[in-house]
Amino acid sequence: MSTTDQNKKESRPFLGVRFDCCNAYVRIYRNKDGTAYEGRCPKCLRPLSIPIGPGGSSNRFFTAS
Ligand SMILES: [Zn+2]
């Protein structure tokens, strides 16, 4: 059995974000350039962009206040 093929498949990274404006929790996904995580509040549609710093952030959860 080979497991190397499955490891090559790119899964799309995401962050969990809580929007304080509407008290809603969503996942936002990395943009195609890999420079930021981008998404919006599911209720008021406020856009949110979290830049990906050098080395990446180890913080997987954010609050948008
Ligand atoms: Zn909102």
What is the distance in A from the centroid of ligand 1 to the CA of 36?
Answer: 20
Q: Distance, CA 13 to ligand 1 centroid (Å)?
A: 22
Name the pTM for this structure.
0.69
Neighbouring C-beta atoms of residue 46, cutoff 10 Å: 13
Q: Name the band, by pLDDT with cuts 50, 70 and 90, for residue 2.
A: low
* 5 C-alpha to ligand 1 centroid (Å): 40
Own/partner long-range contacts of 9-14 (Cβ < 8 Å, ≥24 apart): 13/37
| 11-56 residue pLDDT tens | 888 899 999 999 999 999 999 998 999 999 999 999 999 988 776 6
